[in-house]
Amino acid sequence: MPTHPSTPFVDHTLESAPAASRGLMEAVSRRLGYLPAPVGRLATAPQLLDGFLKVSGLFETTTLDPLAREVVILTVATRNACHVCVAMHTGKLAALDADAELTSALRERRPLADERLEAVRVFTIEVLERAGAVGPDALDAFLAHGYTPRNALEVVLGIGAYTMSTLANRLIDAPLDEQLAPYAWHEHAA
């Protein structure tokens, strides 16, 4: 069971992981084609790994479109300085054929040219900064871009899922997988 020299978190394999994590790890490996280093370390806490996979899976089924979901995720990931999350979701934006300027702006925490997606970014920041207690003006601004009260709550779901992920990934200090190296991000770049 290898560990990174600066962390007590084990880089679990299917053989070394707690039994309750093994099926989860296998599912992630099948879906992605490899076992991400963070998953190997998160396997230490089967309930956390299972909880994140379930909640992030639920977020993927929301009525927010894929780009809007990625705006929520990258807004949380850059705010919380999760290099693994930013790299992984930069890759996801590339797979979605997202505009390079959109990706750059999200990674650099800049306003987005697309007004509708910018409304998601601003609303996500407002929810985070106000711990959910957004005022009517902020909610109205979000809704004015064609979003619904349901979408507002779906943003909260995304924030919850990716706050869990970013905090856990920062705690375990997982290395960036080779597959994500082209999307590497460093907080100082923001």
Report mean pLDDT in 10-residue bins for the chain, 190 residues.
Answer: 69 96 97 95 97 98 98 98 96 97 98 98 98 97 98 98 97 94 79
* Per-residue exposure over 40-72, b if at least 16 CB sit within 10 Å of its own CB, e if not: bbbbbbbebbbebbebbeebeebebeebbbbbb
Q: Could you give the dihedral angle defined by the CA atoms of residues 42, 48, 53 and 54, in that order, rounded to the nearest 10 degrees?
A: 170
The answer to whether the CB of 73 falls within 8 A of the CB of 85 is yes
Q: How far apart are CA 9 and CA 71, in angstroms?
A: 30
Per-residue pLDDT at 104? 97
Phi, psi values for residue 3, rounded to 5°? -130, 155
Percent of the chain with pLDDT over 90: 93
Written as one letter, the residue type at 65 is D
Q: How far apart are CA 105 and CA 185, in angstroms?
A: 13
- Residues 81-113 pLDDT 10s: 999 999 999 999 999 999 999 999 999 999 999
pTM of structure: 0.93
